[in-house]
Structure 1
């Protein structure tokens, strides 16, 4: 697998959903760009003679072998992005899966098990607010009735979005029979950090995913005129919000976790008005569950204390929470050895692999990211490292699918 060959296929996908101003990618779940990516996937799969199927939750599969066969080896990732995100987070795993199939075919490999490349729906949660939506529905981790009621910022429900895409929203839900036919799931992903740069390795293997989640913070106050309301008479939820953001940063640093408030909505959102309400979303992650729980509890207490002083009210509610994921140790060690004692490292980022790990032996491969940037346009991996990732994935798939 040459870097040029990787680049040739990569460039056919790259323009889809790219911001015209060059500010990253806009591929929200079930959007026009996401549907174009799905069409690209179908065309690429069919060109390789692979059978394309869609499960009841809109997750796509390109099958080499019988989709109804047992012990399937599945690889893949997702197409959707965060707002103005990077090119590699998600799509790299899908492109690498297709190229790994090419490489295995050229080697004359005949899988003894079905082999599939998957494209999961709405992994980032940027449109409907729940990360790993497709894999959560597939595994039963998310109630389908609740999922159908999810809405995007424009008020479009998930039910309407999937219906427009040609799926039956009433069919959303778990598929235990499908998962029971899977023998392994391997997700290749661009590294989100710089650990592999420090270790001088192009490819690494994941050991675990930190526990993490998203919490919705609602802070209400009293809307009023910015020019006539005395400072002493204000009940400004923005002050409570600002304090909460700073408190989250401080508590995360003290505890060795991560805390981010990257999204805020203000009402009435007027320059000359004291806000009546602020909604903020806290993303919190930590090396272990006890630390994560303590972090969120501390932020909540400090927010409530500040609300008492500001004359505002605050509520904190979990929107999605994922426990620590320790990947299958036997599979992890087997893959690391197969790849020449590749580095083994944890990650603070959530993935479909983390959701699936409770149902099928699962592992992850990381491709070196020299910038260390993720979820932003600066996210990068060299063509040389991406080609090395394809070879590593093909080696892993060959070992698992031919045993």
Structure 2
């Protein structure tokens, strides 16, 4: 079946009627339905499916073994995300298996399709959760204690789904099986003017939480001079993030989530949490974050509030494997090299195994939103490119 046809099969799973697009988060009904769908599709192709200790799902063509050729992506989404970010890579991997089967191809070494858990961090806040746990770059105790917006911990969510949170943690034996990893992904910008590009780098990026504390009070009876309103420095910090990014070289700083407590319309908040996303093509994000923090502290002090900063994730700049990129370029003639400011599981694995990426053109240039798109013909070209890239090392 084509990748386009596979995506149509899951088009109604996890639709977000309030935000538009899709909300498919770890250990929710939508995400579980997608994992079941993947398991069924893999079985139809004769692949053997297993779930590792960190909730990543592996479908093996041939017995699991060393020097495996691995592809895949993720099925979860950001809140109100598009239809392609993640699922395109999974559907294309399954379709690439179909392409290779149709050629009469039989891999001489193990080939696997993997679905990584919670790549977006949409529920528990840490991106690339499954691949970070697999590689040991995220502490398992910290992961078990992560909480969603309702206060449910990751450990509690996994237990409710029948998982074993005590098993979370590094999996060096499984990681050692991966000889190379190739992730196909929809382009998350508008840089491609051809159907398929080859990933070159991922810029440094991270997420920080700033927590402002003041004094909750009545919105109508509290004079302005008596207020310690944490929303005021929080608002100032949103603007400071834009100014700090503008002062740096091609940096991006975004506040996409802000949560006041208790959150009543006629209540002065007692505290406000906001999340800062910083990405820096030139250098590390630290100086931009320090610039924002200085402005936040100044605004908090002026309002009689306090502020604390917590780093939730940080990924350094990633350069994908040169030898693998060269092989990909030979398999996909004319495909340009494409740097990206978006994080991916391939970027996490790149510190441990040869990793690379294929990008499929996105004519809208929109991602993490319902208008994300890829044309059917470009999707199918991406599948053929992925099949060619996988065939060479697996032959």
TM-score by length of 2: 0.97
* Structure 1: gaps (5+ residues): none
The equivalent residue for 1:236 is 229
| 1:289 paired to 2:283 | yes
Question: How far has the Cα of 1:8 moved from its partner?
Answer: 2.1
CA contact (8 A) 2:124 2:148 kept: yes
Within the candidate set 258, 269, 272, 1:275 is matched to 269
Within the candidate set 239, 251, 254, 1:257 is matched to 251
| 1:110 paired to 2:100 | no
Within the candidate set 39, 45, 48, 2:45 is matched to 48
What are the Cα deviations for residues 49-69 of structure 1, in whole angstroms up to 9, with x where unaligned? 1100111111001110111x2
Within the candidate set 136, 141, 155, 1:140 is matched to 136
Aligned-partner Cα distance in 2 for 1:182–1:225: 58
Aligned-partner Cα distance in 1 for 2:182–2:213: 45
| 1:178 paired to 2:145 | no
Which 10-residue stretch deviates more, 153-162 or 373-382?
153-162
Aligned-partner Cα distance in 2 for 1:269–1:171: 37
CA contact (8 A) 1:288 1:324 kept: no
Aligned-partner Cα distance in 1 for 2:16–2:261: 28
What are the Cα deviations for residues 251-285 of structure 1, in whole angstroms up to 9, with x where unaligned? 11221211111111111212222221111000111
Question: How far has the Cα of 1:337 moved from its partner?
Answer: 3.0
Question: How far has the Cα of 1:124 moved from its partner?
Answer: 0.6
SS in 2 for 1:289: coil
| 1:159 paired to 2:152 | no
| 1:101 paired to 2:97 | yes
Aligned-partner Cα distance in 2 for 1:70–1:185: 13
Aligned-partner Cα distance in 2 for 1:153–1:9: 31
The equivalent residue for 2:88 is 92
Which 10-residue stretch deviates more, 293-302 or 143-152?
143-152
Which 10-residue stretch deviates more, 341-350 or 388-397?
341-350
| 1:120 paired to 2:116 | yes
Aligned-partner Cα distance in 2 for 1:278–1:164: 30
The equivalent residue for 2:350 is 357
Aligned-partner Cα distance in 1 for 2:259–2:179: 43
Aligned-partner Cα distance in 2 for 1:366–1:338: 14
Question: How far has the Cα of 1:221 moved from its partner?
Answer: 1.2
Aligned-partner Cα distance in 2 for 1:154–1:218: 17
CA contact (8 A) 2:327 2:389 kept: no
Aligned-partner Cα distance in 1 for 2:267–2:5: 53
| 1:80 paired to 2:80 | no
SS in 2 for 1:266: strand
The equivalent residue for 1:31 is 28
* Structure 2: gaps (5+ residues): none
Aligned-partner Cα distance in 2 for 1:300–1:337: 46
Alpha carbons of 1:79 and 1:294: their partners in 2 closer, same or farther (altered >3 Å)?
Answer: same
- Alignment coverage as a number of residue pairs: 394
Aligned-partner Cα distance in 1 for 2:266–2:163: 45
Aligned-partner Cα distance in 2 for 1:38–1:30: 10
Question: How far has the Cα of 1:21 moved from its partner?
Answer: 6.2
CA contact (8 A) 1:139 1:356 kept: yes
Question: How far has the Cα of 1:22 moved from its partner?
Answer: 8.1
Aligned-partner Cα distance in 2 for 1:226–1:105: 66
CA contact (8 A) 1:203 1:368 kept: yes
State the Cα RMSD in Å.
Answer: 1.3
Question: How far has the Cα of 1:20 moved from its partner?
Answer: 4.2
SS in 2 for 1:379: coil
CA contact (8 A) 2:361 2:378 kept: yes
